[in-house]
Chain A
Amino acid sequence: MADKPGDLVQGTLDMLILKTLALESMHGYGIAVRLEQLSKGVFRLNAGSLFVAFQRLQRAGLIRSEWKATENSRRAKYYALTEQGRKRLNNETREWGRQVAAIARILEAS
């Protein structure tokens, strides 16, 4: 996959952000780094598209934010999953698994 979010499968960015936040709350840069690390450098997201996604998820009530101090005692906005976000993540993970399996079957069949 390319490093532009437009090239991500539609809707997957939201799911990935939710997944990143499933373990602990995190600030924007942390999320970007974590995504890059977990994907072994495949997903490199720029600030603009990440923050649009944060705004969208927050308005949908899937994540909430809070200003906190970082380990380097810098002020940063930390994002955390809401209960609703956790449910959505579970659903989407399950749905994603189903779709991937289905696509794989189709690709193998031909």
Chain B
Amino acid sequence: MSLLRSMASGLRSLFRKEQVSQELDEELSGFLEMAAEEKMKQGMSRKDALRAVRLEEGTVEVAKEVVRSAGWEFFLETYWQDLRFAARMLRKNPGFTAVAVLTLAVGIGANTAIFSVVYAVLLRPLPYQNPGQLVTMFESNLQKGIKEAGCSYVDFTAWQEQNRTFSFIAGEAFHALTFTGRGEPSELATVVVTPQMFSILQTQALLGRTFSPEDGVRGAAPVVILSETLWLSRFGSDPKIIGSAITLDQRSFTIIGIMPAGFRVPFFTKQDIWIPLAQDPLFSGWIAQPPSPHWLPVIGRLKQGVSLAQAQADMDSVSSNLAKEFPAEDTGWTIRLTPLQQELVGDVRSALLVLLGAVGLVLLIGCANIANLLLARATSRAREMALRQALGAERGRIVRQLLTESAVLGLLGAIAGMLLAFWCVHALTPFLPSGLAQFGAVRLDGWVLGFALALSLVASLGFGLAPALLSGDAHLEANLREGAARSGEGGRRSRARNFLAASELALALVVVVAAGLLLRSFIILTSVNPGFNVEHILKAQISLPRFQYSTPQQWTAFASELLDRIQAQPGLKDSANAAPLPLADGSINLPFSIADSPPLPPGTPNTADYVAVSPNYFRVMGIPLLHGRTFNSDDSPSGRRVALINETLAQFYFPNQNPLGKRLVFGFPPNTNVSREIVGVVGDVRDISLHQAPGPMMYVPFAQEPFWGADVVVKSALPPSSVVSSIRQAAWSIDKNLPLTDIASMPDVLESSVAQPRFRTWLIGLFGVLAALLAAAGIFGVISYSVSCRTQEIGIRVALGASSQTIRSMVLREGLKIAGAGLGAGSIAALGLVRFLKSQLFGVGAADPLTFFGAAALLVIVALAACYIPARRATRVDPMVALRHE
């Protein structure tokens, strides 16, 4: 009640100020009148009585002020005054305001933009119900050197039956199916799932239904679920589409549901449709023939209240049971559970945190800059502050007013920063690595804007506090007496300024070192020789619909017919095919054994990457033949089974031996093991990524191990567009329903394989430049200010015969002293911090002396350049003017 009354009364004084003030006036003057009357009764004249009362009680105005300042509304009123005063001060110094707001806008904008990505990827819960219950389940076999493989279908069904801690588990795989019958044939990104996947993700269909357990049975009627996006783009959002059929890989599927836009099964970026695993032309075959390879990634939903550790223990016992039951297949395999979000984020996490750290340092440098500007201004405002104090302003009141000014600056900076961030997020989105897309849109929502606002307030407190606290330091009388603008230049304040400028350089060094390390890594990474030529090579992918082209004979026939038709055209003689193509496609890693040799010691990895290629492949790609021969037309389906190995495999498994004529046993899928004779050794190739050193590889003739999908590579001097249309014509002349996909030049493939490191290198490089520029502005400000304060001293020196050379080096030395201190501290900080970068470096150590030295040298040059301008101004000081200056 009394709080309400106090509020009501306070609000009344705020909004009906005139009336309240009049009442108080009347009451007080009545009080004084009565006091005076009392005195007049004792015989005083009216004039004397009023005088006496005023002496005793003070004037009405003072009493009113005391009464007014006692209420809470007074606090608000003075805040409003402070705000208006702050706005006026900022308007009066447009240069200062512009610089400060711009600095803050860049700092807050960049932080907000990076934070919006961090929030979307690391902090925002996954768009599923109770996302904390979702875990990924991978199998590892450390004896065989296999980490994070999928599980075999046999294991999957065993897990489903034997686990006690999961409400559901489901497997998933990816496949591109050919969609025909509506316009040009195209490929649809198809996620192949076991039906429980939809129970796990707990997302309802927008229309129709999701899969039922019956849909997952082999031999059930083929059904498909469409994404809302595809439904809109290809079917015009027709609700009657449910129940009708579409043709995928020449087979009819009934549409049973539409999933809302934004729904996706974890791990795959592009998702057009979903089908049950049992209906997939490829994977349904893999289910059928045990023992099957470890290929199925599995996701599970923990039962209510079950912890990850409990589930891990449960699955450990399941896997040891399986090893007892199926010793041949399951010995050595362990199951590892990981929270889904952690698995999805992967190593992006450390990259993002490094970027956030760097951009945070940039903002810190910006704040130090503004603090310095404010300090310089506080000095010139020392007289104003002294006057306020002399007129009775309390210290706290002055600090409050200065902080209000900082907060206004901070808010202006935040608004400008948010606009900048808005623009940045829009501009950057296309450049974000595609892997981030599965976390949903990066956008500026409430959380991100709240972050920006909180950041601006913390920042304005940060840069406002030092000048505000030092403001009370002013010697009242001295400041009033001297009255000069620069009178407040105390030792403490100039030390604070030098400290801030040095800190800026220290922080800038940390950012520049990080940028330098990543830049060097990136340069080394892109100059890595992938082991093959990329110039003038174009690639395109063709996948055959498996229902129409169901036998390996058909695949071989199609591939050789296609290559014949392409090679028949002028200028396209150098063409070949490969499955999978290095860097462009994922790799296939297979276990192998060496025939007629003692088994490898336990713990030795025995897997190699596998590629099926046509005879021309090595010539087209420029992969050197080191021993023996490459494939030729004799290596036909009916010919002797042969293989090529790469140099690494030869050196590791056949040290000091001639591998030619030896036999390797392997097959794809792995249960189709065949013994093959090694006929040649070729050069190493980086097939997974540029930063991964080449491992063992084995090649087989495509004709002997055909595949339904393959990449065509063509080396030609003709313009790419005509090469592409020639390939397309050749394919369509065989079958007009075949889509040509993933068309790219090999240099582009190489480029996009380093898209993510490039992106973060550019960003951190940009932050490095910003940091260096801000630090330069900081030291420039400090030295300029010091020169302007020392005009008189410099004038005396010149008058006493100092040469301009001496003066210049005196000023530069002052700058160098600050730079030296800053860079020294910065090197120590950087040495401590770079270990967080380690996981992102390539070919360069975290404490790389060259980078450290280079970064420090760069900043010394930047600092000297920044000091050179004030130093030159110092040499131009006219001693006569300077001495009359005061």
Whether A74 sits at the interface, judged by CB under 8 Å, is: yes
A47–B35 Cα distance when bound, in Å, is 10
Q: Is the CB of A51 within 8 A of B58?
A: no
B66's contact among A27, A49, A60, A75, by CB below 8 Å, is which?
Answer: A49
A residues near B24, Cβ cutoff 8 Å: 51
A52–B28 Cα distance when bound, in Å, is 12
Binary contact track B37-77/A, C-beta < 8 Å → 1, others 0: 11000000000000000001110001100110011000000
Tell me the smallest distance from the CB of A12 to a CB of chain B, in Å.
Answer: 17
A48–B69 Cα distance when bound, in Å, is 11
B32's contact among A47, A52, A55, A70, by CB below 8 Å, is which?
Answer: A47
Q: Is the CB of B30 within 8 A of A27?
A: yes
A56–B9 Cα distance when bound, in Å, is 10
| B32 to A, closest residue via Cβ | A47
Give the contacts of A70-98 with B (CB-CB under 8 A).
70, 72, 74-77
Tell me the smallest distance from the CB of A49 to a CB of chain B, in Å.
Answer: 7
A74's contact among B1, B10, B30, by CB below 8 Å, is which?
Answer: B30
| A62 to B, closest residue via Cβ | B2
A28's contact among B9, B10, B31, B56, by CB below 8 Å, is which?
Answer: B31
Q: Is the CB of B70 within 8 A of A47?
A: no
B residues near A55, Cβ cutoff 8 Å: 9, 67, 70-71
Whether B347 sits at the interface, judged by CB under 8 Å, is: no
| B63 to A, closest residue via Cβ | A48
Tell me the smallest distance from the CB of A76 to a CB of chain B, in Å.
Answer: 5
Whether A46 sits at the interface, judged by CB under 8 Å, is: yes
Whether B26 sits at the interface, judged by CB under 8 Å, is: yes
B residues near A29, Cβ cutoff 8 Å: 30-31, 34-35
A residues near B32, Cβ cutoff 8 Å: 47
Tell me the smallest distance from the CB of B71 to a CB of chain A, in Å.
Answer: 6
How many residues on chain B are close to A (CB under 8 Å)?
Answer: 28
Whether B748 sits at the interface, judged by CB under 8 Å, is: no
Whether A40 sits at the interface, judged by CB under 8 Å, is: no
Whether B33 sits at the interface, judged by CB under 8 Å, is: yes
Task: Give the size range of A's interface with the partner.
Answer: 20 to 34
B residues near A32, Cβ cutoff 8 Å: 31, 35
Q: Is the CB of B6 within 8 A of A60?
A: yes
Whether A59 sits at the interface, judged by CB under 8 Å, is: yes
Q: Is the CB of B66 within 8 A of A52?
A: yes
Contact (A47, B57) CB under 8 Å given A59-B6, A77-B27: yes
| A49 to B, closest residue via Cβ | B66
Q: Is the CB of A46 within 8 A of B33?
A: no
Tell me the smallest distance from the CB of B1 to a CB of chain A, in Å.
Answer: 6
Whether B240 sits at the interface, judged by CB under 8 Å, is: no
Q: Is the CB of B58 within 8 A of A76?
A: no
A55–B6 Cα distance when bound, in Å, is 9
A61–B3 Cα distance when bound, in Å, is 9
Q: Is the CB of A51 within 8 A of B63?
A: yes
Q: Is the CB of B28 within 8 A of A47?
A: yes
Contact (A28, B27) CB under 8 Å given A58-B9, A61-B2: yes
Q: Is the CB of B27 within 8 A of A51?
A: yes
Q: Is the CB of A48 within 8 A of B30?
A: no
- How many contacts A-B (CB < 8 Å)? 71
B residues near A47, Cβ cutoff 8 Å: 28, 31-32, 57-58, 63
Binary contact track B15-32/A, C-beta < 8 Å → 1, others 0: 000000001101110111
Whether B5 sits at the interface, judged by CB under 8 Å, is: yes
A residues near B1, Cβ cutoff 8 Å: 61
Q: Is the CB of B30 within 8 A of A75?
A: yes
| A58 to B, closest residue via Cβ | B9
Q: Is the CB of A74 within 8 A of B33?
A: yes
B5's contact among A28, A59, A72, by CB below 8 Å, is which?
Answer: A59
Tell me the smallest distance from the CB of B870 to a CB of chain A, in Å.
Answer: 53
A residues near B57, Cβ cutoff 8 Å: 46-48
A75–B1 Cα distance when bound, in Å, is 30
Tell me the smallest distance from the CB of B74 to a CB of chain A, in Å.
Answer: 11
Give the contacts of A14-38 with B (CB-CB under 8 A).
27-29, 32-33
B residues near A33, Cβ cutoff 8 Å: 38
B residues near A48, Cβ cutoff 8 Å: 57-58, 62-63, 66-67
A residues near B34, Cβ cutoff 8 Å: 27, 29, 70, 74, 76
Q: Is the CB of B27 within 8 A of A76?
A: yes
B residues near A46, Cβ cutoff 8 Å: 56-58, 63
A77–B25 Cα distance when bound, in Å, is 11
B residues near A70, Cβ cutoff 8 Å: 34
Tell me the smallest distance from the CB of A33 to a CB of chain B, in Å.
Answer: 8
Tell me the smallest distance from the CB of A51 to a CB of chain B, in Å.
Answer: 4
Q: Is the CB of A51 within 8 A of B67?
A: yes
A residues near B56, Cβ cutoff 8 Å: 46
| A53 to B, closest residue via Cβ | B70
Tell me the smallest distance from the CB of B29 to a CB of chain A, in Å.
Answer: 10
Q: Is the CB of A59 within 8 A of B33?
A: no
A residues near B38, Cβ cutoff 8 Å: 33
A residues near B2, Cβ cutoff 8 Å: 59-61
A77–B57 Cα distance when bound, in Å, is 19
Q: Is the CB of B5 within 8 A of A61?
A: yes
Tell me the smallest distance from the CB of A95 to a CB of chain B, in Å.
Answer: 19
Q: Is the CB of B5 within 8 A of A76?
A: no
A49–B680 Cα distance when bound, in Å, is 105
A32–B35 Cα distance when bound, in Å, is 10
A residues near B70, Cβ cutoff 8 Å: 52, 55-56
A residues near B37, Cβ cutoff 8 Å: 72
A76–B24 Cα distance when bound, in Å, is 11
Tell me the smallest distance from the CB of A71 to a CB of chain B, in Å.
Answer: 11
| A65 to B, closest residue via Cβ | B27
| B53 to A, closest residue via Cβ | A47
| B56 to A, closest residue via Cβ | A46
Tell me the smallest distance from the CB of A92 to a CB of chain B, in Å.
Answer: 16
A contact set with B: CB distance below 8 Å: 27-29, 32-33, 46-49, 51-52, 55-56, 58-61, 70, 72, 74-77
* Cβ-closest 8 pairs across A and B: A48-B66, A29-B34, A48-B63, A59-B6, A52-B70, A51-B67, A61-B2, A47-B63
Q: What are some 27 contacts across the A-B interface (CB < 8 A)?
A: A29-B30, A29-B34, A32-B31, A33-B38, A46-B56, A46-B57, A46-B58, A47-B28, A47-B31, A47-B32, A47-B57, A48-B63, A51-B27, A51-B66, A52-B66, A55-B70, A55-B71, A56-B70, A58-B5, A58-B9, A59-B6, A59-B9, A59-B10, A61-B5, A72-B37, A76-B30, A76-B34
- Beyond contacts A51-B67, A61-B5: 15 other A-B pairs, Cβ-Cβ < 8 A, are A27-B34, A28-B30, A32-B31, A46-B57, A47-B57, A48-B58, A48-B63, A48-B67, A49-B66, A55-B9, A55-B71, A59-B6, A59-B71, A74-B30, A75-B30
